């Protein structure tokens, strides 16, 4: 006979918590894995776990209103005849037309252009809205080759060869049938209304030697003018960065596991890849070991939200950052003003991530013409430009407080870590000590 103490409250398992139980039941009822958009939702060590030290007597701060703090960045100085110059080191990451509406792509182009930065195409090709409204447009060359053509390579200002993404290193993309409109199908040369799965690896090469040949091909097609980036998901950042440099990259784009995606299996998003914070120092180390730091530029992405995040990524050695999720929020994604509609979809503002279903009330992750028309690309572009301006000002404020007249002059020495994990990953001392795990002595 079992004994139950009536005074003991029922106790739930930490291992089998409510979310786990719900997922087991969902899987048992449907027999299909969960697909969603956005990045990891679990808490991992991040830029919040770092603080700037600021200047006082041993360091001399700069005066905000009188002393300049430069934010410009030049990308593609290694081989490209026409490197690109941006006024702010905050770029807009590649997000596909198909995943996003034409209006959303236009808004990103408009906002980036006002702010003096670049935007990027995605798995699905270049739209005229985006090209027309983006002063500096980076064209992605992806394993799927959807929408790829030499004419658009030449219309771009830079080319990004996508090897992987932080949300799913080793995985391909998904665009479900609901979002394959006539236009999306036409651009991808695939039938309308049928689920599309992008390849997880490029059909044209198997390793860095063939990648080098592919890059030469892309350079020939574009007359050696355009900077060529290589984008990798954060998994083995030291070796991937070194191999990207060997293959001939002008710029390495490194996307950590917090990086957003349009649609991927939840189990993939939550269990594959390394936190952005842990990716930066090994990548910088690889560049330094090859004598290429600042010669091959490093763009970091995955969970960047504020000027403080930008400044921290740069202090750890990045030349620039890219934002995806935050840019979508700035143009109107998950806006509480659509709460009644999020409720009808069984979710709430701030948690809506079924982007693959194409029912986005904000008109951003949809191809439904009525929903897409809700997003005014001009007003949304202005919001993005405002947000980029604020982030740039924030990063400048921090850099000046550290006595730096350019964001690139921020350095690991300007930082301390709040936790042992962050200290180990960022290789900056735990606050109040001169030590981090892995470093000998105190
Ligand atoms: C809606 C959406 C669509 C995306 N589509 C692509 C894509 O087509 N190609 C790609 O390389 N990355 C894609 N990404 C990933 C972004 O380029 C970037 O790596 C990521 O969003 C950065 O992290 P963040 O969202 O935390 O800023 C997508 C991300 C989102 C949110």
Q: CB atoms < 10 A from the CB of 393, how many?
A: 15
pTM: 0.96
Interval 301-351: pLDDT, tens: 999 999 999 999 999 999 999 999 999 999 999 999 999 999 999 999 999
C-alpha of residue 158 to centroid of ligand 1, in Å: 17
Residue 439 belongs to a domain: no
* Residue 380 token pair: 């949304």
Estimate to the nearest angstrom the gap between the alpha carbon of 262 and the chain centroid.
12
Atom in ligand 1 nearest the alpha carbon of residue 259: 23
Residue 23 belongs to a domain: no
Residue 143 is predicted with a pLDDT of: 86
Residue 134 belongs to a domain: yes
Residue 141 has pLDDT above 80, yes or no: yes
Tokens 């191809």 correspond to 367
Residue 227 belongs to a domain: yes
Residue 358 belongs to a domain: no
Residue 298 belongs to a domain: yes
* Residue 86 token pair: 């941006």
The dihedral built from the CA positions of residue 361, 43, 416 and 74, taken in this order, carries a sign that is: negative
Q: CB atoms < 10 A from the CB of 314, how many?
A: 29
Residue 68 is predicted with a pLDDT of: 93
Residue 205 has pLDDT above 90, yes or no: no
Domain that holds residue 109: 45-332+375-426
CB 19 within 8 A of CB 381: no
DSSP state of 292: -
Residue 74 has pLDDT above 90, yes or no: yes
Residue 174 is predicted with a pLDDT of: 82
Interval 21-63: pLDDT, tens: 999 999 999 999 999 999 999 999 999 999 999 999 998 999 9
Interatomic CA distance for residues 240 and 230, integer angstroms: 10
Where does the pLDDT of residue 147 fall: very low under 50, low under 70, confident under 90, or very high at 90 and above?
confident
What mean pLDDT is reported for the chain? 95
Beta strands in 39-86 (DSSP E): 50-52, 73-75, 84-86
Pocket test for ligand 1, best of 165, 179, 330, 354 (most atoms within 8 A of CB): 165
C-alpha of residue 324 to centroid of ligand 1, in Å: 5
CB 285 within 8 A of CB 317: no
Measured at the CA of 222, the angle between CA 219 and CA 224, to 5 degrees, comes to 50
In this structure, what are the phi and psi dihedrals at residue 109, rounded to the nearest 5 degrees? -65, -45
Residue 442 is predicted with a pLDDT of: 47
C-alpha of residue 164 to centroid of ligand 1, in Å: 10
Residue 135 belongs to a domain: yes
Residue 340 belongs to a domain: no
How far are the Cα atoms of 193, 344, 356, 372 from residue 187, in angstroms, in the given order?
Answer: 13, 32, 18, 18
Where does the pLDDT of residue 2 fall: very low under 50, low under 70, confident under 90, or very high at 90 and above?
low
- Any residues with Cβ below 6 Å from ligand 1, and which? 37, 39, 93-96, 99-100, 122-123, 140, 162, 165-166, 231, 255, 258-262, 301-304, 322-326, 365
Interatomic CA distance for residues 244 and 252, integer angstroms: 7
Instruction: Please give the tally of structural domains in the chain.
Output: 1
CATH number of 187's domain = 3.20.20.70
Q: By C-alpha distance, which of 161, 167, 134, 163 is closest to 148?
A: 161
């Amino acid at each position: 006979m079992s004994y139950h103490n009536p005074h003991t409250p029922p106790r739930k398992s930490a291992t089998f918590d409510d979310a786990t139980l719900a997922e087991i039941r969902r899987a048992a009822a449907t027999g299909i894995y969960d697909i969603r958009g956005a990045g990891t939702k679990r808490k991992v060590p991040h830029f919040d776990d770092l603080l700037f030290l600021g200047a006082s007597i041993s360091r001399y701060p700069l005066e905000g209103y009188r002393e300049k703090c430069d934010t410009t960045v030049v990308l593609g100085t290694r081989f490209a005849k026409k490197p690109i110059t941006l006024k702010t080191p905050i770029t807009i990451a590649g997000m596909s037309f198909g995943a996003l509406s034409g209006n959303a792509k236009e808004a990103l182009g408009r906002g980036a252009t006002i702010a003096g930065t670049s935007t990027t195409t995605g798995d699905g090709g270049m739209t005229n809205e985006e090209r027309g409204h983006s002063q500096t447009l980076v064209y992605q060359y992806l394993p799927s080759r959807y929408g790829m053509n030499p004419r658009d390579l030449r219309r771009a200002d830079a080319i990004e060869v996508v090897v992987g993404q932080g949300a799913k290193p080793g995985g391909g993309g998904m665009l479900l049938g609901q979002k394959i409109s006539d236009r999306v199908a036409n651009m991808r040369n695939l039938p309308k209304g049928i689920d599309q799965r992008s390849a997880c690896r490029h059909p044209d090469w198997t390793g860095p030697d063939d990648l080098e040949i592919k890059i030469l091909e892309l350079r020939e097609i574009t007359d050696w003018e355009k900077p060529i980036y290589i984008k990798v998901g954060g998994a083995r950042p030291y070796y991937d960065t070194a191999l990207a440099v060997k293959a001939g990259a002008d710029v390495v784009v490194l996307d950590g596991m917090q990086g957003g995606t349009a649609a991927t299996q939840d189990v993939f998003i939550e269990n594959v890849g390394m936190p952005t914070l842990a990716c930066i120092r090994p990548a910088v180390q690889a560049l330094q070991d090859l004598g290429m730091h600042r010669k091959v530029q490093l763009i970091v992405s995955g969970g960047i939200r504020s000027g403080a995040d930008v400044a921290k990524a740069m202090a750890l050695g990045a030349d620039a950052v890219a934002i995806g999720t935050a840019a979508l929020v700035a143009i109107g994604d998950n806006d509480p003003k659509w709460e009644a509609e999020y409720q009808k979809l069984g979710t709430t503002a701030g948690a809506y991530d079924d982007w693959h279903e194409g029912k986005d009330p904000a008109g951003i992750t949809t191809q439904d013409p009525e929903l897409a028309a809700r997003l005014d690309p001009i007003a949304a572009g202005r919001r993005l430009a405002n947000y980029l301006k604020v982030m740039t000002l924030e990063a400048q404020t921090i850099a000046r407080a550290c006595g730096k007249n350019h964001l690139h002059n921020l350095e690991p020495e300007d930082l301390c870590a709040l936790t042992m994990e962050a200290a180990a990953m960022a290789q900056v001392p735990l606050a109040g000590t001169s030590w981090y795990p892995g470093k000998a002595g105190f």
